Homo-oligomer: A and B are copies of this chain.
C-alpha cells in the first residue's frame, strides 16, 4: 500500500511556511496509512518512574517513545526543532520531559511577582513545536456556524474588525503537584507520560487577543442552533494507541459566551507569543485546565457534542479512587474543565532546616478556577490544627482568573520536625481536601489537597539552642548538617552523673 513511497509524500507538510504541521483530522486515509506504518515498528516502552525514585538528571525523563513515533512518520525535524526552541525560549525551567516538552518553573521564579516572565512560564506540550510563519498562517472556523470563514492573522489583529482584550490569566496543568499523588500511589502511566510535576506547573500572564465569542459573531454570523461545544484543533501531531491525530479539545459554548473567558491570543505579557507557547495563535481559556488552551490553533469547529479527539474524550478524566487499570473506562471518569481551589507553599522547600527567632516566613501561591477568585489563605504550623490567616496586605491583588501570591510570618515556638500546610478558600467558599489520599485518582490529576511541607525548626530565641549553635560553629560544624552527629560530647561525665543521680534511670523501689 505505502511501501516504497517516501514518508514526505505519505505525510506531507502541505502548507508553505507551516513547518512541523501535518494535516490529520481531514485526511482519514493518511491517518490509516500512518497507523499501518506505526504497526511495522517497535517503540521504546514507557519508562517506569512511579514505583522507583525519579532519576537525578536534567531532563528528568526522556521521551524516547514519542520521538520514535515522530521519526517513524518522517517528522524527526519536529523533535529537533522543539528542543532547539526549549533551549532558546525556556533554558531555565526544570525539564521534566524533553519531548513532548514539559518544563516547570523554579521556586524563585514562581515567586518573582504576580506575572510570570515568559521565559519562566511552565510548558506542558502534547506534541512537537510547529514552526509557522505568521504571514502564511490562517485560522479556519467551520461546523455549526452560519458562515465558515478563513481568517488571516492580520484580520484577527485588526481592531476595526475585532475589539481586543487583555486578560490576566493563570494557566495551570491539571497535573500540578502530581508528584504528591505518585509518591502516595502509582497511577496511570499514560502513553504521553503523566509528568511528575511539582508546584511549578502554573503561571500567570497578561494575554492580548480577541474574544472567541466576538469572532464567531462578527466573522461567522454566529453559531447555529444545536452548537454545544467549540472544538479547537492545533497544528501539533498527537498519538494515541497506534493512531495519529492533530491535537484537539473542546469547551462548551456556554463558556465561550463569556466574552473575556475564551480568548484567541497572540500576545503574552506584551510580547508576541513565544513559539513554544503557540505562536502565532492560541486559545486562552480562563479558569480551565491548561489543556483546553489549545496552542497553534488553526481550526475551530462548532459541534453538537464535545470533541471526539482523544485528549478531550479519553484523557483529563477524574476517576474515583477505586478506579484503576482493572476497571477504567472513558465514561466512568468525569471531564476536568474548571480547576478547583488549590495552593502551594513554595518557600521554604520541604525538609529544609530553618533557624529562626520565633517566626518562620512562608511564601506561596493560591488559585481557583471557574472564575472564582482567591478569598483567603490560611497556613498551619502543626499539620492542620491551628490555622493562621495570611493578612490581606500580604496577598497580591485579586483577579477573576489569576492566582494570588502570598507571604506570612508564622509564629513558631516548637523545635524539631514540624509539618506546615496551606489551604485556600475561594469566592464560592470552596476549600481544599485535607490529605493527598482524600482526592487521589487514577489519572493523577488535580492534586488540590492541602499542600504539606516538613521543616526542621531551630528556635534561636531559646538560650540553650543559641548556645548549641555557637558550640557547633566552634567545632566547625553547623546545624545545617542535620544528620551529622556533633563531634563533641554533649555533656561531661560530671554533668551526666549529676543528672543521673538527680533522676535515676530506674526507680529505687
Interface residues of A, Cβ cutoff 8 Å to B: 45-46, 48, 50-51, 53, 184-191, 228, 241-242, 252, 254, 305-306, 308, 313-314, 321-331, 334-335, 351, 414-417, 419, 437, 440, 442, 454, 456, 458, 462, 464-465, 468-469, 472, 479, 482-491, 493, 495-497, 499-500, 503, 505-506
The answer to whether A326 and B458 touch across the interface, beta carbons within 8 angstroms, is yes
Known A53-B53, A185-B417, A252-B506; judge A479-B331 contact (CB<8 A): no
Question: Closest 8 A-B residue pairs measured CB to CB?
Answer: A331-B499, A189-B483, A185-B417, A322-B416, A53-B53, A326-B458, A329-B490, A326-B465
B488 contacts A241, C-beta separation under 8 Å: yes
Contacts of A506 in B (CB 8 A): 228, 252, 254
State whether A496 and B330 are in contact (beta carbons under 8 Å apart), knowing that A48-B483, A484-B45 are contacts in the complex: yes
Most B Cβ at <10 Å: residue of A325, A465, A489: A325
A486 touches B325 (CB 8 A): yes
**Are B329 and A417 in touch, CB under 8 angstroms?**
no
Flag if A490 contacts B322 (CB, 8 Å): no
Q: Contacts of A479 on B, CB cut-off 8 Å?
A: 325-326
List of B residues within 8 angstroms of A486 by Cβ: 325
For A328, give its contact among B228, B327, B330, B490 (CB under 8 Å): B490
Residues of chain B within 8 A of A45, CB atoms compared? 484
Q: Chain B residues with Cβ under 8 A from A322's Cβ? A: 414-416
A-B contact pairs, 21 of them (CB 8 A): A50-B483, A184-B417, A185-B351, A186-B351, A189-B484, A228-B506, A305-B497, A313-B496, A321-B417, A324-B415, A324-B456, A324-B482, A325-B472, A325-B482, A326-B468, A326-B469, A330-B490, A330-B491, A331-B495, A331-B500, A334-B505
Query: Contacts A254-B506, A490-B314; is A326 near B415 (CB within 8 Å)?
Result: yes
Determine if A187 and B483 form an interchain contact, defined as CB atoms under 8 angstroms apart: yes
Give the complex CA separation of A328 and B468 in angstroms.
9
Taking a contact as CB atoms under 8 Å apart, the answer to whether A185 and B327 are in contact is no
Q: Which of B241, B308, B416, B488 contacts A487 (CB 8 A)?
A: B241
Q: Which residues of B contact A417 (CB under 8 A)?
A: 184-185, 321, 324, 440
CB neighbours of A489 from chain B (8 A)? 241, 314
Q: Which of A185, A328, A454 has the most CB of B within 10 A?
A: A185
Bound Cα distance from A242 to B456, whole angstroms:
28
Please name all residues of chain B whose beta carbon is closer than 8 Å to the beta carbon of A500 when the two chains form the complex: 305-306, 331
Contact A308 B493 (CB under 8 A): yes
For residue A305, which residues in chain B have a CB less than 8 angstroms away from its CB?
497, 500
Instruction: Tell me the nearest residue of chain B to A188, going by C-beta.
Output: B485
